[in-house]
Amino acid sequence: MLPEDETHDEALPYLEEPPEGGRWLAPALREQRLYELCRDGGDEAHLAYLRIIAAEGLYRPVALDEARGGDGSAPLHVTTLPDGRRLVQAYTAGVLPRPHPDVVYEFVTLRGLVALWPDDVHVLLVNGATPCARAFLATEDEWDTWLALHDELFEPDGTCDRIETRRTGTPEDEGLLRGLACGAHLCYGNGDAWNTLDWHGAGYSGEVGRLAGSWGIQDHDGWLETTERLLAAELSPWVWEYVLGARLWLARQLGDRRVDPVVWRDCVEQSIREQLKDEVSGEELEDLGVGLRGLVGKIMRYESRFRADGLLPPDGYVRTVAAWDLGRATMVARWGRGARYATEQELHAAVERAGKAVQAVYGSWPEFSAGYVLGRCLHFDQETFGDWYTTVLDAHRALLTAPDSPWNTVPLH
């Protein structure tokens, strides 16, 4: 039996029309623009509407039983109206409802719609039952337009690297918002709305594939284990925190936050030898000591670059990389919801815990971000200062300056 929070009737979007003479506040800027185009009417508005959905793509409802185990190519769902007309419904990201126990949403492009289109259906209804709804005849001439616009405008990463903020349907609880804000780097990189718990992400199959391919997660138990380890900041290599912790210990002992690099290197090597001398062979212990000394140098070189790029203040350094696990925890929680591995209650709990954990460790969002970036670089970059660094640096700068950024609208403390 499903948990109580999973049973509801919101399978398809429904958003009320504004009162007569009033204007609609759309969930996001995309839908606001579509709404204005619906009010304008005419051929130019028709084409402008199509251009937006060609560039950004759509989401189509699919029964979970049909979608599970597939690759996103389940047949289009066809709705038959009382008058006998048959149509396909699809939606933009901002109007999607809270996840339903039996219905999921698959991402689809205009080209993808043409490939799946049933022969006996001749209407596409976009954003039905919302103020930004628009219908399109699905004829061969219209398909040619769809395909041409797709080829002109759609790019797989075209909606990435931006701050997407929902304006309606967002949580009011500050603890939940804080937890959601902890995933801002990844939301920016993927172009996802940072402040929604009604998570659909890259579509059902996209979320399933993301978790399986990048995390090895294929079910609820795998999702829960990974999420718990991330929330405990225990998924990253222990040596990172060991080395950073040694510097903090030395700073306290010496009464000076500017720890000499030679003293730091000697400290980590000597302390690990002392702790593991009875448990690890001499050769293995020697290799570990050399590795820790090398890690000190790597961290220092990253921090030097961070200061030059404004990611750290002139005399700043990273105290902990817990942000790397905690920032990913709040996203794995959302991806698990999109893949239907997590319940609504589990998602809310994980997001709130992530926010509390970050609040307990960091004094500011910039400090949190620096810890996250260092963790990402240690994990992926190998001191190349390539895309793994430059893209997240761009995210850091945008998230600290944009007025609608989570870090400028949700206080950490």
The full set of domain ranges for the chain reads 4-153, 174-235+322-409, 238-308
Token pair 């910039």 is found at 366
| Phi (first) and psi of residue 232, to 5 degrees | -85, 0
In the prediction, which pLDDT does 1 show? 37
- Distance CA(215)–CA(335), nearest Å, equals 11
CB 185 within 8 A of CB 399: yes
Tokens linked to 154: 């759609």
The angle, 0 to 180 degrees and rounded to 10, between the axes of the packed helices 344-361 and 220-231 is 20
pLDDT averages per 10-residue partition of the chain, 413 residues: 62 93 94 95 92 98 96 94 92 97 97 95 96 95 96 96 96 97 98 98 98 97 98 97 96 89 94 84 86 96 98 96 98 98 97 98 98 98 95 98 97 97
In the prediction, which pLDDT does 216 show? 98
Residue positions counted in the chain = 413
Cβ atoms within 10 A of the Cβ of 148, count?
13
CB 372 within 8 A of CB 196: no
Distance set, CA 100 to CA 58, 61, 80, 133 (Å): 18, 10, 21, 21
CB 58 within 8 A of CB 52: no
Token pair 């060609």 is found at 54
- Distance CA(366)–CA(374), nearest Å, equals 12
Tokens linked to 54: 């060609």
